[in-house]
Structure 1
Amino acid sequence: MRFTTNLALAAPFLILLGSCVGPAPRQANLAPSPAPRPIPTPAPIQPTVPPAPLASEWQYRATAPGDWRWQSDAAISVARFGPTAADTRLTIRCDRAARRVSIIRTGAGQGTMTIRTSYGATSWPATASTSPTPQAVAVRAAADTALDQIAYSRGKFAVEVAGPEPLIVPAWPEVSRVIEDCRG
């Protein structure tokens, strides 16, 4: 009974509590707002790729077009590089009897022949030959360690002589084969 007495006493206050809710908010009579402007989207940014700079270091230049061709007989082992078999730009030749490796750059005269590999640069004296076209010839002993640097250069090596542009060629197995044939 105590519960019902407390409820009877609280009933008037509960009714008053329900009337504490204020009136609904009035909406102001506003003029209709203009349609929202679309936000302009910027045009997609096209990345501009600057033209590739000309490579000044030999290792960043492309190799010359062409292929290595290898042949051998009892006296010699030779690898020739050029765009065609008839157009040889570089020859690496082994004279087995003398155990000498000749590097022949077509289209050049005498002076110094510089060989650039991933191991560094080596300069050798070169003599001129005119048969059948002008060429520079550097001759090395088959045991010369610079020949190993050519054979194991990372992907390519360069041959520079006075006159023509440096010749950058791939370090393919034909080169190693000539060097190994010469070492016997």
Structure 2
Amino acid sequence: MIAPRHRFHSPLRLSPVVALLWVAACVAPPRAPTPVDVPRPTPTATIALPAPAPVDWQDWPRTPGTWSYGRDARGSRALFGTAGRDALAVLRCDLGERRLFLSRAGTAATPFTIRTTSATRSVAAQPTGGTPPYVATAFAPNDPLLDAMAFSRGRFVIEQAGTPALVLPPYAEIGRVIEDCRS
């Protein structure tokens, strides 16, 4: 009979699974990454810039105020402004002259540019000589620019060099004054 051979198990002869576990036990666990110091942005002063003015006059904000209608011995008038202050703009029908006068507060004798949705025209203006000071332009009652102002969609504008533009709503008071002069 043959004597059984004793098998030696050398630590170098490990099964592949055991060898893998043995090697894994010797490897250090992965380290968490060290945080990197990120410089914080330095706060800068913010400057609030005014919004650019809209290019299209139909997008300009309206001038604060409202129209009011009145009559006197000379005819009728529509005044635009805020309560307790002098009117910024006036449309007056002078029945004696059968003319309409559009005036705005100020002293500059430069022309008005009137913009409506259907017409734009430059008209001569001159000081009225009153107190407070106004500058005015005159229209015949049948001037089509008057209808363009009365029926402009949403607003019409009176511009004059050196003064802020008046962006005015075409309320019914304007049409009433025009019709008063045409009757």
User: What's the TM-score once normalised by structure 2's chain length?
Assistant: 0.68
SS at match of 1:105: strand
2:106 match: 107
2:110 pairs with 1:131: no
Match of 1:174 in 2: 173
The answer to whether the aligner puts 1:149 opposite 2:148 as a matched pair is yes
Identity %: 38
Using the TM superposition, give the Cα deviation of residue 68 of structure 1 relative to its aligned residue in structure 2, in angstroms: 0.5
Residue 56 of structure 1, CA deviation: 2.3
In structure 2, what residue type is equivalent to 1:125? A
> Match of 2:28?
none
Task: Find out whether 1:163 has 2:162 as its counterpart.
Answer: yes
Paired with 2:107 and 2:113, the residues of 1 have a C-alpha distance of: 12
**Residue in structure 2 matched with residue 119 of structure 1 by the alignment:** 118
Report the number of matched residues.
134
Tell me how far 1:88 sits from its aligned partner: 0.7
Equivalence for 2:89: 90
CA contact (8 A) 1:108 1:163 kept: no
**Displacement of 1:74 after TM fit?**
4.8
- Structure 2 distance, partners of 1:125, 1:80, is 21
TM-score (norm 1): 0.68
Q: Which amino acid aligns with 1:87?
A: D
Is it true that 1:55 corresponds to 2:60 in the alignment? no
CA RMSD of aligned residues (A): 1.6
Q: Which runs of 5+ in 2 are unaligned?
A: 1-49
Q: Distance in 1 between matches of 2:170 and 2:74?
A: 24
- For residue 154 of structure 1, report the CA deviation from its aligned partner: 0.5
How far does residue 112 in structure 1 lie from its aligned partner after superposition? Answer: 0.8
Report if the CA contact (8 A) 2:119-2:145 is conserved.
Answer: no
More strand by share: 1
Flag the 1:133–1:74 CA change in 2: closer, same or farther, 3 A: closer
Residues 109 and 134 of structure 1 are in contact (CA less than 8 Å); yes or no, is this contact kept in structure 2? no
Q: 1:150 to 1:96 in 2, by over 3 A?
A: same
Counting only pairs closer than 5 Å after superposition, residues 10-25 of structure 1 correspond to structure 2 as none
Q: Output the CA distance in 1 between the equivalents of 2:157 and 2:127.
A: 19
1:91 counterpart SS class? strand
After TM superposition, what 4+ stretches of structure 1 lie above 2 angstroms from structure 2? 51-54
Measure how far apart 1:162 and its partner are.
Answer: 2.2
Uncovered stretches (5+) of structure 1, i.e. residues with no partner? 1-50
Compute the displacement of 1:54 (Å). Answer: 2.2
Paired with 2:94 and 2:61, the residues of 1 have a C-alpha distance of 31
Distance in 1, Cα, partners of 2:97 & 2:76 = 12
How far, CA to CA, are the matches of 1:85 and 1:123 in structure 2?
A: 31
Provide the secondary structure at the position in 1 that maps to 2:142.
coil
2:132 aligns to what SS in structure 1?
coil
1:58 CA drift (Å): 1.4
* 8 Å Cα contact 1:136/1:161 also seen in 2: no
